[in-house]
Amino acid sequence: MVYHDLREYLSELEKRNLLTTVDRKIQLETELMPLVRLQYKGLPEKERKGFFFTNVYDSTGKHYDAGVTTGVLASSIDVYAAGMECGPDEVPERFTKAIERPIDPKVVKEGKCQEVVITGKDLESHGLNEIPFPVEIPGYSCQVRTTTAFVTKDIETGIQNAGTYSGQVFGPRKILWEVHRGSHGFMHLRKAAAKGKTLDAAIVIGGPPYLQFTAAAKVPYGMDELSVAGGIAGEPIEVVKCKTVDLYVPATAEYVIEGKVSVSDFEPQTPFGEYTGYVAADVESQWCPVMEITAVTHREDKPIFQTIISQMPPSESSKLRQVAYGSAFTKFLRNDCGLPNVKKVAFLESSGSWQYCVIQIKKDAPTDAMRSLVCASGYAADIGKVFVAVDDDIDPFDPDSVNWALSFRMQPHRDIQFIRGKTAHLDPSVFVAGQKDENSGYREASAILIDATRKTDYPPTSLPKREYMEKAQKIWEELGLPSLNLKMPWYGYDLEKWTPEYQRYADMVIKREHFKIGEELEKKRKKIDILAK
């Protein structure tokens, strides 16, 4: 099925037992996010679900005529796949095809997202004040925010961009836009500044899940994420023109926050938890442009505030980036860099979110692995600190499998390169005590490229052959033992260094003919003087 709005999608998640609905009273500041956070620290990914809260109130006792949902995009790969309408293994290819074959949105005259329109003086009491923003890490959050698609437009080309940026709410008409230098949104801001104009912006909350998936990805500059979203859906996304800014947004969104972003008025960011797993406090001199709210529009029937749970990985945010970035990088390396032998690109979400990138490749030439690493490191200045290339028998999504390759398929003096010229926005390791830099928050970072592929012939892996492990698996199940989550390699397989003679010996051992092997070895006996120099 195609999801035309958030509500259809939530209904499908519920049918698949991938949604937890909470009807009891939940406080926005202290209870909602801690409750959802528990599943990321206490459950295996397979058991994580989206959450929908129908009865929310704040610390003043105010009850909201709205719901809150989080974790419904990417609390697990099963949830993500449900949103993409495919199997978990098909997600990267579906994303890649959508980037290659986008479908432009369809403009309609009216949309449910504009059933209620709040402008002018009414914004003081009935605008942002009526949206149930939860506090995401109570005790350390110094702000509340939006974390869904933030839409802007290139004023020269007219092409829109949707990125997942924070909209920090600090007044009935004021949102600070946490937009990093070098991002597509900031490019739009710079172009507006060059023309001496403010920048139109719209924050889209809810709607079809496809836009939120693409907003979290790094699609090429100049490609409208709404068109990529249409490519995922297989049909155009219906859009409506905003009421006070010259932008188009999904007609079925739950909320839309419209406004004008100043190109000269900036305010400092307050501390907040970030994807690094640390609070962004005094990490950088990040000054945020001010967005003056010109309208808040929403559905009439109990709108749903959707937010993405982020901060310490694993989280919904890290899973979103893992899948979206992996898909975008795979397409880039295969199609744009001429490396069709790249099999998968994985970002290890629990190990480093978007900083740890593993490229699975079947080499045709000795230089293929390092070439793929160099190309990947240049895709985006702010993505990737650790890049590792592995062979196609290594699971790039499994840290244990990757670490095995690092331990026994590379030599540091030969297989590692360092590059400079990267950027880091929130990584605490980029800072040195006593050094201050007030120039727009820019810091130079670097990356390490590690070729952990085989450089010569290797013997088989030291595990029983597949046929014996599969037989053991059946016995395991017959015994009613706990469910297995097998990781590669879980059975032995040949690599290059294995002769027919060795295989004959192995077959003889299976037949319990090891004494016969001993007789053959005796014929090869020779004397060796161990004292000889």
Q: Tens digit of pLDDT for each residue in 143-195?
A: 889 999 999 999 999 999 999 999 999 999 999 999 987 789 999 999 999 99
Spatial strand order of the sheet with 19-22 comes to 19-22, 50-53, 67-70, 304-307
pLDDT(40) > 80: yes
Q: Was domain 92-307 assigned CATH 2.30.110.10?
A: yes
pLDDT band at 439 (very low <50, low <70, confident <90, very high): very low
If you average pLDDT over residues 82-107, what whole number do you get?
92
Residue type, 218: K
On the CB side of 459, CA atoms within 13 Å amount to: 4
462: Cβ–Cβ under 8 A, 6 or more apart, which residues?
492
Query: Measured between alpha carbons, how far is residue 127 from residues 15, 65, 303, 441 in Å?
Result: 34, 13, 13, 32
Query: What is the residue type of 17?
Result: N
Extract the runs of DSSP E, i.e. beta strands, from 191-270. 199-205, 238-241, 248-250, 255-268
Least confident of 128-137, 206-215, 283-292, 497-506: 283-292
Average pLDDT over residues 45-73: 95
Which residue from 257, 272, 230 is spatially nearest to 106, judged by alpha carbons?
230
Cα dist. 380→150, 164, 354, 421, 457 in Å?
Answer: 19, 16, 11, 11, 34
Q: ∠6-12-18 over CA atoms, to 5°?
A: 100
Residue 50 contacts residue 18 (beta carbons within 8 Å):
yes
Dihedral sign from CA coordinates of 183, 185, 191, 196: negative
Q: Which string of b and e fits 77-105 if b means at least 16 CB within 10 Å?
A: bbbbbbbbbeeeeebbebbbbbbeebbeb
CA–CA gap between residue 338 and residue 205 (Å, rounded): 38
Q: What is the mean pLDDT of the chain?
A: 90
Whether the Cβ atoms of residue 337 and residue 375 lie closer than 8 Å to each other: yes
Helix (H, G, I), strand (E, B) or coil at 218: coil
| CATH 2.30.110.10 placement within the chain | 92-307
Residue linked to tokens 């949103």: 83
Sequence letter at residue 492:
G
Residue 429's Cβ-count burial label (10 Å; 0-12, 13-18, 19+) is exposed
Does residue 438 have a pLDDT over 50?
no
* Predicted local distance difference test score (pLDDT) of residue 440: 45
Contact 349, 319 (CB under 8 A): yes
Question: CA-to-CA distance for 226 and 243, rounded, in angstroms?
Answer: 19
- Does residue 100 sit in helix, strand or coil? helix
The two beta strands, 166-171 and 160-164, are unpaired
Mean pLDDT score, 433-448: 65
Residue 286 binned pLDDT confidence (cut-offs 50, 70, 90): confident
Would you say 72 and 319 are in contact if contact means Cβ atoms under 8 Å apart? no
Q: Quickly tell me which residue has 């003889």 as its tokens.
A: 508
Nearest to 341 by CA among 293, 391, 386: 391
Instruction: Please tell us whether the domain made up of 316-451 is placed in CATH 3.40.50.2000.
Output: no
**Confidence band (pLDDT; 50, 70, 90) for 432?**
low
With helix as H, strand as E and coil as C, how does 291-312 read?
EEEEEEEECCCCCEEEECCCCC
Residue extent(s) of CATH 3.40.1670.10 domains in the chain: 316-451
Torsion 341-343-345-350 (CA) sign: negative
Question: What's the pLDDT tens digit per position in 463-494?
Answer: 888 999 899 899 999 999 888 888 888 888 88
**Predicted confidence (pLDDT) per residue in 184-232, tens digit:** 999 999 999 999 999 999 999 999 999 999 998 878 889 999 999 999 9
pTM of the model: 0.82
